[in-house]
């Protein structure tokens, strides 16, 4: 077991704690392996009745995955990046299909891989500190780890809006959209974790409070109208033709994102809504991820945002109309059976 993860069982509870505070608990492959090992050990252990996932000291629940490693691998043969995705997606799938109740405490930053580790859980707790986002299009990636499944099932076109813009949701918004099952003040989390063995639903129901108003709901009509199309060009045109402050700000945000991976994201959500199973979703995301991680926009996005920090990525193609349907079809093509992702 890696030192970046703490897994221990006591009093009927299997406790998984992300323990990489200097990286805001960003996931690496060893952490994903550790979660899988713990879940397997507790699967048939009658003494463990409920699982919790939270973070150790430091701010944030989980800032995502090891993006720098992915880019370094993508610049070479991509093998290490594919190995990470393969393990991470198995962890996502195991959480999604696990028989025992799992409670994720999304206290603080919950982005990318943090969304992937929390959303499969039966109970998802947001607080006033929660900041949840899938900001991948800003670095030439896409909302993976099941994003195509979860975002496509949000009300209206909110999922498309979140996938393209990377907009950060607060805890109240997460609760209103169903991304969180409960809203608790952060000061009550310690009590919740102490009492959780009594029964997660009853304990969380007892400690939950009414969430504040969800700001995003004030824009629901605009989001549904402006993001109605599954064609990126149509969304840009709708935003450009609207003179509201919301549309102007949203268009300015989209103009900073990778056109290629915005188109990938739209197709991911379109397919994800009718995907037969979560395993099918992860199989497709693995095929897409294994290709996107080696493409120019991801390497350039990581350079601009994480390495050089100039926040001035040069996307290629630079505009939505430059990203052909043929390119998207190539990115989404199934992998050969001997290279494809499998849940076991």
Q: Which residues are catalytic?
A: 65, 113, 136, 144
Give Cβ neighbours of residue 27 (< 8 Å, ≥ 6 apart).
18, 62, 64, 65, 66, 88, 113, 114, 117
Is-cis flag, bond preceding 317, omega within 30?
A: yes
**Using CA atoms, how far apart are residues 80 and 78, in angstroms rounded to an integer?**
6
**Using CA atoms, how far apart are residues 274 and 196, in angstroms rounded to an integer?**
35
- Closest listed residue to residue 233, CA positions, set 132, 323, 141, 119: 323
- Closest listed residue to residue 117, CA positions, set 39, 46, 182: 39
Contact 86, 145 (CB under 8 A): no
**Is the C-alpha dihedral spanning 35, 133, 259, 229 positive or negative?**
positive
SS3 content of the chain, % helix, strand, coil (to 5): 55, 10, 35
Contact 15, 9 (CB under 8 A): yes
**Using CA atoms, how far apart are residues 114 and 132, in angstroms rounded to an integer?**
8
């Amino acid at each position: 077991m890696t030192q970046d993860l703490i897994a221990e069982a006591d009093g009927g509870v299997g406790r998984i704690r992300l323990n990489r505070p200097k990286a805001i608990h960003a996931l690496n492959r060893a952490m994903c392996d550790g979660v899988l090992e713990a879940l397997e050990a507790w699967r048939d252990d009658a003494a463990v009745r409920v699982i919790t996932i939270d973070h150790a000291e430091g701010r944030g629940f989980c800032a995502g995955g090891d993006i720098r490693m992915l880019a370094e691998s993508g610049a070479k043969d991509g093998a290490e990046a594919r190995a990470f995705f393969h393990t991470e997606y198995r962890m996502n799938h195991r959480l999604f299909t696990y028989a025992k109740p799992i409670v994720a405490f999304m206290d603080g930053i919950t982005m990318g891989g943090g969304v992937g580790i929390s959303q499969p859980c039966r109970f998802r707790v947001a607080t006033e500190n929660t900041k949840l986002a899938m900001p991948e299009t800003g670095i030439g990636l896409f909302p993976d780890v099941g994003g195509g499944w979860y975002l496509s099932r949000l009300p209206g076109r909110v999922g498309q809006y979140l996938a393209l813009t990377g907009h950060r949701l607060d805890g109240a918004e997460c609760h209103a959209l169903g991304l969180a099952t409960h809203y608790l003040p952060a000061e009550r989390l310690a009590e919740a974790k102490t009492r959780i063995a009594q029964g997660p639903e009853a304990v969380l129901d007892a400690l939950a409070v009414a969430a504040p108003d969800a700001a995003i709901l004030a824009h629901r009509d605009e989001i549904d109208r402006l993001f109605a199309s599954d064609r990126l060009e149509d969304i840009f045109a709708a935003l450009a033709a609207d003179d509201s402050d919301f549309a102007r700000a949203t268009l300015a945000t989209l103009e900073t994102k990778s056109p290629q991976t915005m188109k990938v994201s739209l197709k991911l959500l379109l397919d994800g809504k009718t995907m037969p199973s979560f395993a099918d979703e992860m199989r497709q995301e693995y095929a897409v991820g294994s290709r996107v991680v080696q493409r120019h926009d991801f390497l350039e996005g990581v350079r601009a945002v994480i390495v050089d920090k100039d926040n001035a990525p040069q996307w290629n193609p630079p505009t939505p109309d430059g990203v052909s349907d043929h390119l998207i079809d190539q990115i989404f093509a199934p992998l050969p059976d001997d290279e494809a992702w499998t849940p076991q």
